[in-house]
Chains A and B, each alone.
Chain A
Amino acid sequence: MARRALGLSLTDRALPYLLLVPALLVGGVVLVYPLVNGILLSFTSYTFIQPQYKWIGVRNFASLFKDPIYWEVLLNTVTLTFSAVILQLALGLALALLLNSSIPFRGGFRGGVFFIWIMPEIVAALIWMIMLNSEFGILNFLLQWLGIAKHNVVWLGRPLEAKASLIMVYAWRGTPFFMVMILAALQTVPSTIVDASKIDGANAVQRFFVIIIPYIRDIIILCCLLSVVRLFQDVTQVTILTNGGPIYSTTTLAVHVYKQAFVGLQMGRAASVGVTWLIFLFVLAVFYIRLVTKGEFRK
């Protein structure tokens, strides 16, 4: 009896840790190890042909910061990500507000648009590759038919147009996410407050800025953060649509790391680009964790 009681209290104290064991095993082996190893790699001259951890100090970083391509890539990442997120927010917010009114088929519209977000990335990329084809693509035809463009636009073959295409595809993919999240947040706005403001004579614009925005502000910030994270990670869509080109005009940080490692076979150098990414990560993570865990840790 006494032994059983002791055993119970011991397992009770160890239980929270025991429950974590499977997750730690998976996460530790394939998440923490690659991260630490990646940081180590960035200080070595590891290549595919000479796979040795030969320590070369900060030489990778020194040559990186002197490389104009690196700065171009950094600028591309910021430009593409932020333009796309702004478009996603504008479109997603508009759709959410429309679907929050009393129009018919709301569920159908929401489901249809949400589908864009859950379809495989590769399918989205292939569709757009076909639509953006400069000779036979439907987009050029539609633009001319509507009188917006006069000639065929070379979407993926010129620096500026290629950037615009990617921003368009990103915005298209991410809008449903904003829509669903903001719509869910809008439904938490108490109708009594909205009704009261109507009685007090507030018009739609005032209502939007004074009542609705404060209610959905946190969700909007969260969506923007998550979307930035997602776009930072994207290699697939860039690879399929432009392969980072023409020249380096659509190469983002993620694509640069991936291509240096698996096309240039310079693992060490690639890792050093990845390490500079961790600085961005740190800033984003601080915001994100504060937002998601409001009061969580003090519970």
Chain B
Amino acid sequence: MTGTTDANRPGRQRHWAAWEWLKVTFRRYHLERWVFLAATLVLVVVLLFPILWMVRISLTPDHLLFVLPPQGVFRNINLAGYIGLFSRIKIGRFYFNSVAVAFGTVLTCVFSGTLAAYSFSRFKYRGRNTLMVITLSAQMFPWAMLIISLYILYIKTRLLNSHIGLILAHSTFALPLTIWIIKSYFDTIPRELEESAFIDGCSRMRTLLSIVLPLTTPGVLAAAIYVFLFSWNDFLFGLTLTTTDRMRTLAPGITMKFIGEWEYHWVDMMSTSISITIPVVVLFLFLQRYFIEGLTAGALKE
């Protein structure tokens, strides 16, 4: 009994010493920072690889496209995919439709969403809770089913294949989110501010417009960004609620072109994909703060 513990002790001690040494060295040279950095780098590179690969494919000359291992990544650059964007693939019209629909959706959502958010945030009345619950659960309604009814409704009202029809469809799905983001900003503004404005003789609407709204600009901006993204990125509504090339938006437009007609035109597929992504990148570079604020708004109130 005692023999075994004696025999174990030096080994365990050596083990323990090595562990101590490791801890001390780690602390002295801040090694854990480097381990964390290395782990982060590996994860980030793996996650971003598909995006790098998209850029690479969009610049590959045709004869190297199916060559593995990849060759001439930096030496042979082929810009044909980008030059042909507007002539061969004719995405100009899709671009116009997407921009028109996205801006229409942003305007509709921000206008009606701000007013509704103010109402939810500042007043207590019958039906408020019910309406708020509907707002919150609206994003869980089965879209695929709603589209069926929308499609039937649009055929009857001739909204099928129109910008207004798409704007309405996108708005409904983006509106709940808008209301919720902006409401969480309104909630953070102290009521005393408005009350002092009333005492000075401002009307409700006047207070909203000139005192509360300027303070909520970040919230409105964050909401507007998400509405824009939703509309710009949408594929399903665009695919279902438009029927001609003239009215198609970007995502369904290019997909209809590539899947089917141009199955293996990878270069064009990727250069077009990049051209759809660029507006999102530009927005993101300038407004990154609002992207993240909008996402965490409401969720991290307390």
Q: Interface on A for B, CB 8 Å cutoff? A: 11-12, 15-17, 19-20, 22-27, 29-35, 37-38, 41, 51, 91, 94-95, 98-99, 101-104, 109, 111-116, 118-124, 126-128, 130-131, 135-136, 138, 141, 145, 172, 175-177, 180-181, 184-185, 188, 219, 222, 229, 232-233, 235-236, 240, 253-255, 257-258, 261-262, 267, 270-271, 273-275, 277-278, 281, 284-285, 288-289, 292-294, 296-297
A130 touches B270 (CB 8 A): yes
Q: What are the nearest 6 A-B pairs in CB distance?
A: A274-B145, A22-B112, A34-B149, A16-B123, A23-B116, A257-B144
Min CB distance B109 to A, Å, is 8
- A98, A101, A102, A177: the one within 8 Å of B43 (CB): A98
A292 touches B142 (CB 8 A): no
Across the interface, name the chain B residue whose C-beta is closest to A272. B145
Min CB distance A64 to B, Å, is 14
Across the interface, name the chain A residue whose C-beta is closest to B56. A138
A292 touches B299 (CB 8 A): yes
A113 touches B68 (CB 8 A): no
CA A236 to CA B236, docked complex, whole Å: 6
Q: Which residues of B contact A98 (CB under 8 A)?
A: 36, 39-40, 43
A41 touches B148 (CB 8 A): yes
Main secondary structure of the interface of B (DSSP, over half): helix
Min CB distance A120 to B, Å, is 4
Q: Mark B52-89, 1 if CB is under 8 A from A, else 0.
A: 01100100000001101110000000000000000000
Q: A23-B112, A116-B47, A180-B295 known; 12 other A-B pairs, CB under 8 Å? A: A16-B122, A31-B138, A34-B149, A95-B44, A115-B281, A118-B233, A120-B232, A141-B69, A233-B144, A262-B240, A274-B148, A288-B140
Known interface pairs A26-B175, A233-B143, A281-B142. Does A121 touch B233 (Cβ–Cβ under 8 Å)? yes
A15 touches B280 (CB 8 A): no
Interface centre among A27, A118, A122 (most CB of B within 10 A): A122
Min CB distance A30 to B, Å, is 4
Q: Mark B285-302, 1 if CB is under 8 A from A, else 0.
A: 000100110011011101
Min CB distance A229 to B, Å, is 5
Across the interface, name the chain B residue whose C-beta is closest to A270. B148
Across the interface, name the chain A residue whose C-beta is closest to B208. A19
CA A26 to CA B122, docked complex, whole Å: 22
B232 touches A254 (CB 8 A): no
CA A22 to CA B172, docked complex, whole Å: 12
